[in-house]
């Protein structure tokens, strides 16, 4: 099913941010089936539980993609499926969201840990702050943050906390290297959550894949530049589909 792309959303904000991109992709190629699949509703912080749920829910032999946490999960699922996955598309997604000794281009743990603690104590306030971080670098950050927050589903705090804890400990580098299918990784130049250095480090980690940068865009570039993203993805899908 090389004409089918499944997209997974980021943490906490539901499927709404991906809808303009999905619409733009459908507008470019009427034969491409683009579907947005919500993240699993799990209180587990164990990656295998999330992958088991996604593997049971999503069809085989499709393109997998996603935004931020959704892209990290798509990466792990692509590696698990191997030849049963057509290819991978990640959007504003760091192989390791939190920095490590051997991956410094992540969010410092000294920044992430207080954010995690803040969510435990005041989830609604922290989610608003997260929306502002997603829109940092935008021409109209407050309007974009309001749009993100208004589209966010009402989720149980324990479910959101589990996803946030998973985001903090995921390291998808091994999965990226293990997956032999086509890969496209798109980054935003003004991202307040994923340092732009991650794009360069991704290319060093995977010299044979496609890595792109939309320079004047924030983490929520799905809403800022859906047509630019769609054009890059569509070109990649066509090029890879012709191999």
Q: What is the pLDDT of residues 106-153, one digit of tens each?
A: 999 999 999 999 999 999 999 999 999 999 999 999 999 999 999 999
pLDDT at 1: 52
pLDDT of residue 155: 86
Phi first, then psi, for residue 8 (nearest 5°) are -110, 135
Both tokens assigned to 237 = 């899908």
Mean pLDDT rounded to a whole number for the chain: 96
Quick: pLDDT tens for 144-176.
999 999 999 988 999 999 999 999 999 999 999
Structure token pair of residue 73: 């999960």
Catalytic residues: 68, 191, 219
> What predicted TM-score, i.e. pTM, was given to this entire model?
0.97
74-83 confidence digits (pLDDT tens): 999 999 999 9
Domain at 4-241: CATH architecture? 3-Layer(aba) Sandwich (3.40)
* Alpha carbon distances (Å) from 163 to 43, 68, 80, 194: 8, 12, 20, 17
DSSP string, 1-59: -TTEEEEE--SSS-SGGGHHHHHHHHHH-TT-EEEE-PPP------HHHHHHHHHHHSP
């Amino acid at each position: 099913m090389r004409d089918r792309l499944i997209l997974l959303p980021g943490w906490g904000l539901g499927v709404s941010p991906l809808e303009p991109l999905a619409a733009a992709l459908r507008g470019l190629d009427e034969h491409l089936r683009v579907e947005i699949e919500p993240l699993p509703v799990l209180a587990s912080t164990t990656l295998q539980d999330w992958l088991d749920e996604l593997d049971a829910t999503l069809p085989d032999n499709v393109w997998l993609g996603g935004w931020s946490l959704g892209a990290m999960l798509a990466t792990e699922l692509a590696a698990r499926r191997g030849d049963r996955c057509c290819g991978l598309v990640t959007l504003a997604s760091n192989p390791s969201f939190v920095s490590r000794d051997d991956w410094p281009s992540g969010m410092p743990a000294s920044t992430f840990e207080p954010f995690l603690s803040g969510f435990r104590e005041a989830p609604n306030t922290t989610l608003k702050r997260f929306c502002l971080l997603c829109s940092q670098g935008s021409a109209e950050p407050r309007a974009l943050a309001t749009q993100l927050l208004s589209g966010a589903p009402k989720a149980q705090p324990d479910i959101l906390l589990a996803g946030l804890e998973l985001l903090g400990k995921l390291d998808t580098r091994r999965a990226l290297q293990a997956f032999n299918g086509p890969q496209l990784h798109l980054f935003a130049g003004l991202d307040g959550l994923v340092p732009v250095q991650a794009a360069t480090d991704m290319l060093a980690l995977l010299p044979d894949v496609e890595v792109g940068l939309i320079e004047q865009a924030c983490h929520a570039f799905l809403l800022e530049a859906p047509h630019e993203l769609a054009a890059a993805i569509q070109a990649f899908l066509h090029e890879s589909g012709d191999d």
